[in-house]
Amino acid sequence: MSLSLLASQLNEAFPRLSAVQRLERACATASGRLVFTTSFGVEDQALTHLIAEAGLPIEIVTLDTGRLFPQTYDVWRATEARYGLRVRALYPEREALEALVARQGVNGFYESAANRQACCGVRKVAPLARALEGAQVWVTGLRGSQSGHRAGMDYAGFDAARGLLKVNPLLDWTREETADFCARHDAPVNALHAQGFPSIGCAPCTRAVAPGEDERAGRWWWETSDKECGLHVDAQGRFVRAAAPGQGGAKGLVDS
């Protein structure tokens, strides 16, 4: 069965299933490797809990950009201790990173969108490509209510650029439900969430948000357009955003 057809079937079935049942369905239908990419945000912690407790055959990986908050390393360590597992860490290639810093300076990403995308390219996108090499299914913690850009996403989609099935089991969860789930199940959470950081990426590129602001307003807050890091692209490899409901177009293809 083609991955596009598989995505359609999962989209049909997922609304009736719990999050763990969605993960189990993805495992049951996949004939290849499943990879879950975590950045240790509250959504990812809920998914890690579900995967670990159910003993699902999904590889848990993270992209260590080298610029993460100390609190992120703390929750990473706490997660491994809580569930007795090791998260596979992917790092930027040394030569590419050295060339990037030589070219644009250590914080060159503040100077232009092109510089910022180049930094994300070396520190995130290239390691992600290695993490997903040979995988058939990519599991993410994306939620539809995280931002206007994510509101039009599907539960599952064929990522033609990477040739795999992308699955978002928490698509319909609210932030409150996700935080409550982690609290009830004693899943470790990043201490920054309680300090006004609903979305946590690299330290120099993430700030707290004000009440009423979009959950992701604190990411690359100095930029006014194309706030994409390239992890989520369309079939042609372009950075795109989900279409508004009713407008059609690409869905589930935004930044993480």
> Least Å distance between CB 214 and ligand SF4?
17
- In the bound state with ligand SF4, the residue whose beta carbon lies nearer, of 50 and 120, is 120
- Two structure tokens written together for 11: 């989209």
Nearer to ligand SF4, 19 or 231 (CB): 231
First-to-final CA distance of the chain: 28
Cβ count near 232 (within 10 Å):
28
CA angle 14, 84, 62 (to 5 degrees): 60
DSSP string, 168-194: -TTTT--HHHHHHHHHHTT----GGGG
Cβ atoms of 139 and 148 closer than 8 Å: no
Q: What is the nearest approach in angstroms of ligand SF4 to the Cβ of residue 125?
A: 9
Catalytic option among 119, 120, 182, 229? 229
Cβ(33)–Cβ(53) below 8 Å: no
Q: Catalog residues that contact ligand SF4 under the rule CB under 6 A.
A: 65, 67, 109, 116, 119-120, 123-124, 201-202, 204-205, 229
Query: For residues 50 and 205, which CB has a smaller minimum distance to ligand SF4 in the complex?
Result: 205
- Please, what is the minimum distance in Å from the beta carbon of residue 101 to ligand SF4? 10
Q: SS3 for 34-54, per residue?
A: EEEECCCCHHHHHHHHHHHHH
* 120 catalytic residue (yes or no): no
Strand, helix or coil at 239? coil
Q: Report the residue number, 109 or 155, with the smaller CB distance to ligand SF4.
A: 109
- 124 or 143: CB nearest ligand SF4: 124
Residue located via tokens 């290639």: 93
Smallest distance, ligand SF4 to C-beta of residue 17, A: 33
Q: Alpha-carbon distance 86 to 155, whole Å?
A: 27
Backbone angles phi, psi at 51, to 5 degrees: -65, -45
Question: Nearest distance from residue 34's CB to ligand SF4, in Å?
Answer: 25
- Residues with a catalytic annotation lie at 229
